[in-house]
């Protein structure tokens, strides 16, 4: 976003100018994928409709007083935004066969949200799982987790989102590649300078650190914390919360691991589709 604010428009940003082709010509480069776009859009609507009743129950049952549920609520809000980008925006773009230069302004801003919500979701997931592990492993410090420490976590999450939203390059939708990429493919001729301008090193670090830390946390949980959790001093509700957190964290970890693998190998189109 800082580049957009600095230059005033997307086409004024270096290496993002699409004016050398018309919008019709850019659409010809893309590939219409209605078989993918419609299901994604419907799935996104379905998922978005699930969140409000879940959030309502959390507040209705006063679960929000627990630290982990504060993080879960923030994670839910972040994921709702991420779902809107990955499904409700990507779906119609797949149907039309759009590329970045089909709607440069819209896709540029949407890409900022895609990246910001993904990376923020990673941090929320990590803090949520870490919160539960500390609560189970060292219950004598649980009052710290439910106290000021959780608000420190929320401030960290907000700061992390601001960093990604304002200070990192965007990602750009491409119907041919079936994903959001750092390279908008807007240049008539590629160059090393342009590739360097598109490169988002913090995103790579975010993904690798997230996966590495989550693996360590999973191993710590199953090798050490599990024995503590089996004790009689823990209620079924506490154990259920841990199981919920593991399920929530699992999908983000797998997604990050798969995305990281794409930097090492060229994925088959079928893998991208999945």
Quick one: pLDDT band at residue 13, thresholds 50, 70, 90? very high
Work out the average pLDDT over 119-131.
Answer: 88
Task: Give the number of C-alpha atoms closer than 13 A to the C-alpha of residue 109, restricted to the C-beta side.
Answer: 8
Output the six-digit token pair for 124. Answer: 């929320």
Q: Which domains does the chain have, with CATH numbers?
A: 23-273 (1.20.1070.10)
Beta bridge partners of residue 173, listed in sequence order: 180
Helix or strand (DSSP H, E) at 179: strand 179-181
Residue 273 has pLDDT above 80, yes or no: no
Predicted local confidence at residue 90, as pLDDT: 94
**CA-CA distance, 136 to 207, in Å (whole number)?**
26
Predicted local confidence at residue 252, as pLDDT: 64
Predicted local confidence at residue 258, as pLDDT: 64
3-class SS of residue 180: strand
- The model's pLDDT over 36-48, given as tens digits with 9 standing for 90+, comes to 999 999 999 999 9
Q: pTM of the full predicted structure? A: 0.84
- The model's pLDDT over 217-229, given as tens digits with 9 standing for 90+, comes to 777 777 665 565 5
Residues 116, 119, 121, 124, Cα dihedral to 10°: -120
CA 146 to chain centre: 26
- The model's pLDDT over 193-207, given as tens digits with 9 standing for 90+, comes to 888 899 888 888 888
Distances (CA, A) of 130 to 20, 200, 217, 226: 50, 27, 7, 14
Predicted local confidence at residue 147, as pLDDT: 72
**Of residues 245, 31, 14, the one with CA closest to residue 127:** 245
Distances (CA, A) of 145 to 69, 127, 139, 190: 12, 11, 10, 50
């Amino acid at each position: 976003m800082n580049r957009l604010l600095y230059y005033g428009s997307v086409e004024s940003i270096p290496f993002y100018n699409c004016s050398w082709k018309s919008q019709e010509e850019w659409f010809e480069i893309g590939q219409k994928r209605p078989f993918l776009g419609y299901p994604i859009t419907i799935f996104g609507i379905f998922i978005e409709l699930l969140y409000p009743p879940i959030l309502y129950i959390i507040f209705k049952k006063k679960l929000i007083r627990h630290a982990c549920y504060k993080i879960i609520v923030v994670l839910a809000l972040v994921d709702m935004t991420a779902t809107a980008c990955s499904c409700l925006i990507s779906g119609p773009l797949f149907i039309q066969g759009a590329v970045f230069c089909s709607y440069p302004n819209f896709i540029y801003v949407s890409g900022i949200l895609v990246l910001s919500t993904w990376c923020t979701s990673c941090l929320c997931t990590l803090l949520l799982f870490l919160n539960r592990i500390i609560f189970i492993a060292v219950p004598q410090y649980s009052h710290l987790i439910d106290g000021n420490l959780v608000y420190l976590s929320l401030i960290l999450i907000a700061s992390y989102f601001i960093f990604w939203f304002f200070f990192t390059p965007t990602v750009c939708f491409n119907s041919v590649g079936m994903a959001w990429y750092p390279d908008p493919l807007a240049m008539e001729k590629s160059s090393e300078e342009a590739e360097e301008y598109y490169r988002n090193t913090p995103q790579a670090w975010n993904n690798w650190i997230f996966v590495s830390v989550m693996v360590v946390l999973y191993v710590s949980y199953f090798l050490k914390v599990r024995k503590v959790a089996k004790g009689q001093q823990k209620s079924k509700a506490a154990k259920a919360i841990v199981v919920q957190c593991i399920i929530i964290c699992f999908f983000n970890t797998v997604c990050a691991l798969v995305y990281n693998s794409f930097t090492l190998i060229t994925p088959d189109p079928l893998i991208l589709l999945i």
